[in-house]
Structure 1
Amino acid sequence: MKKIILLFSLLLFNTVIAQKKMFTNKGIIIFDASVPLFEEIKAKNESVTCILNTNTGEIASLVLMRGFRFKIALMEEHFNENYIESDKYPKATFEGIIQGFNINIIGTSPKEFKMNGKLELHGKSKEINTTVKLRKVNEALEIIADFDVNTDDFNIEIPQILTKKLSKTVNIKTNFLVK
């Protein structure tokens, strides 16, 4: 019986060691909800967490909504209080998988992969299917994505008076350098 437990423990230990995770807490997300001819509605968060399992291609990220910075402080206040309701929904998460991920085929030139997963924002979830670009940068792996989301999918209400100044389609750009 002791041999079986020892063998099982060794197999479990090897499996845990074989899983390689790369991580950052300095990822960047930029969102842009601007409309042509009106004031720019754009913000940046440079404290985003991202974890990548290099054995499976599973990826997860977390962003605190109050970390987004706007050019105009009043926009930041409206974003947190009126639209995102950061006190009620303090974070957004993404959990997904990079299809066909193989760290051995990634070089210093960007390589495209399909990525799909679930974005949770403002208490709602939405499936996201996009392309992600990966490339090696020194000892790290750069992960870049660019996709659009619709505010209606996350029950983010835009007052009628602002519908011409604020886009319901929001562009999201991410850049993670995981090590």
Structure 2
Amino acid sequence: MKKILILCMFLTVGTVTAQKYYTKTGETDFKASVEAFEPVEAKSNSTTVILTDSGSLAALLFIKSFHFKVALMEEHFNENYMDSDKHPKATFKGKIKDFNMADLSSTAKEYQLAGTLTVRGKAKEIETTAKISKDGEKIKINSFFSVKPQDFDIDIPSIVRNKIAKEINVTLNYELVEKK
């Protein structure tokens, strides 16, 4: 319930009459691996996303929803790097350029996606490409971008600095349904 309430307060996209698509089970992955070292990667299957017919897109992800294969890595991620108790969520609010719901089909079309990613209270403008398609009643959005830990004041201790990539690759896979 708290997650829904926070999302409602955060999401002010579109008007009351606008058509909206959403998911609460969007998949967000990141990889920060360096070859020859243990993989640094995690996945969240609980990103909440809303897309309006005008192309406005908003997403909310709780940092603790990222899960690693190695429990100790997950603990260090939350306590030492992300400080998830103090900064529990990441948000994205943006716009899909030249988006038209009527143009969607089963063949993915590339759109430019631009907006603001906020992590640990630090905002960064993101511009990337999103592949969007419509499969029956579902809209699928796939995207990829990279960020640097220093963009969000994430300090990587020198003892592990060479084991973590300088750029973190983020992959988004969302399947949205119409909100009725």
Whether the TM-score (by the shorter chain) exceeds 0.5 is yes
The reply to whether residue 74 of structure 1 matches residue 72 of structure 2 is yes
CA apart distance, 1:167: 1.1
Larger radius of gyration: 1
CA apart distance, 1:157: 0.4
Matches within 5 A, 1:28-39: 28-39=27-38
Instruction: Provide the rounded CA distance (Å) in 2 between the counterparts of 1:30 and 1:91.
Output: 15
CA apart distance, 1:16: 3.2
Q: Which runs of 5+ in 1 are unaligned?
A: 1-14
Aligned to 2:6: none
Instruction: Provide the rounded CA distance (Å) in 2 between the counterparts of 1:27 and 1:16.
Output: 23
Aligned to 1:7: none
| C-alpha contact (below 8 Å) 1:30/1:173 kept by paired residues | yes
Aligned to 1:5: none
| C-alpha contact (below 8 Å) 1:132/1:144 kept by paired residues | yes
Aligned to 2:135: 137
Instruction: Provide the rounded CA distance (Å) in 2 between the counterparts of 1:178 and 1:90.
Output: 24
| C-alpha contact (below 8 Å) 1:31/1:171 kept by paired residues | yes
Amino acid at match of 1:76: E
CA apart distance, 1:168: 2.4
Amino acid at match of 2:159: I
CA apart distance, 1:161: 1.1
Higher helix share: 1
Q: Across the two proteins, how many residue pairs are aligned to each other?
A: 163
Q: TM-score, with normalisation over the residues of structure 1?
A: 0.89
Amino acid at match of 1:92: A
Q: Which runs of 5+ in 2 are unaligned?
A: 1-14
SS of residue paired to 1:33: strand
Q: TM-score, with normalisation over the residues of structure 2?
A: 0.89
Aligned to 2:117: 119
- After superposition, the CA RMSD in angstroms is 0.8
| C-alpha contact (below 8 Å) 1:114/1:131 kept by paired residues | yes
CA apart distance, 1:35: 0.5
Instruction: Provide the rounded CA distance (Å) in 1 between the counterparts of 2:81 and 2:136.
Output: 39
- Percent of aligned positions with the same letter in both sequences? 45
Structure 1: which 4+ aligned runs deviate by more than 3 Å?
none
Aligned to 1:16: 16
Instruction: Provide the rounded CA distance (Å) in 2 between the counterparts of 1:112 and 1:125.
Output: 25
The reply to whether residue 178 of structure 1 matches residue 176 of structure 2 is yes
SS of residue paired to 1:156: coil
| C-alpha contact (below 8 Å) 1:152/1:168 kept by paired residues | no
CA apart distance, 1:138: 1.8
| C-alpha contact (below 8 Å) 1:98/1:114 kept by paired residues | yes
CA apart distance, 1:104: 1.1
Amino acid at match of 1:57: G
Instruction: Provide the rounded CA distance (Å) in 2 between the counterparts of 1:21 and 1:106.
Output: 14
The structure 2 residue matched to 1:153, chosen from 145, 148, 151, is: 151
Aligned to 1:11: none
The reply to whether residue 109 of structure 1 matches residue 107 of structure 2 is yes
Aligned to 1:90: 88
